[in-house]
Chain A
Amino acid sequence: MPDAAKTVDAKGQSCPMPVLMTAKGIKEIDSGQIMLVEATDNGARSDIPAWTTQTGNELVESQEADGVLRFWIRKK
Chain B
Amino acid sequence: MSNDDSLDTPDSMTIIAWSGDLDKLWPTFILASTGAASGMDVTVFFTFWGLFPLVKDDVRITGYDAMTKALAGMNAPGFKKAKLSKLNMGGSGAWMMRKVAEKNKLLPPEDLFAICQEMNVNLWPCQMTMDLLGIKPEQMVDGLGEPVGAATALQKMAKSDINLFI
Contact = CB atoms under 8 A, between A and B. Distances in A.
B39 interface: yes
Contacts of B37: 16, 19-20, 22-24, 51
Contacts of B105: 12-14, 17
Contact of A51 (B33, B38, B107): B38
Contacts of B106: 14-15
Interface string B117-140: 000000000000000000000000
3 closest Cβ contacts across the A-B interface? A23-B37, A54-B38, A14-B106
Interface in A32-76: 51, 53-56
A29 B47 CA distance: 39
B33 A16 contact: yes
Nearest to A12: B105
Nearest to B9: A54
Interface in A1-18: 12-17
A24 B34 CA distance: 11
Interface residues of B, number: 17
B115 interface: yes
A62 B38 CA distance: 19
Question: Chain A: interface residue count, which band?
Answer: 10 to 19
Contact of B33 (A13, A20, A53, A54): A20
B160 to A, nearest CB: 15
Contacts of A14: 104-107
Interface in B17-42: 30, 33-34, 36-40
Nearest to A20: B37
Contact of A17 (B9, B10, B39, B107): B107
Interface in B35-59: 36-40
A19 B104 contact: no
A13 B106 CA distance: 7
B65 interface: no
Interface string B95-112: 000000000111100001
A62 to B, nearest CB: 18
A76 B36 CA distance: 18
A53 B10 CA distance: 11
A15 B9 CA distance: 20
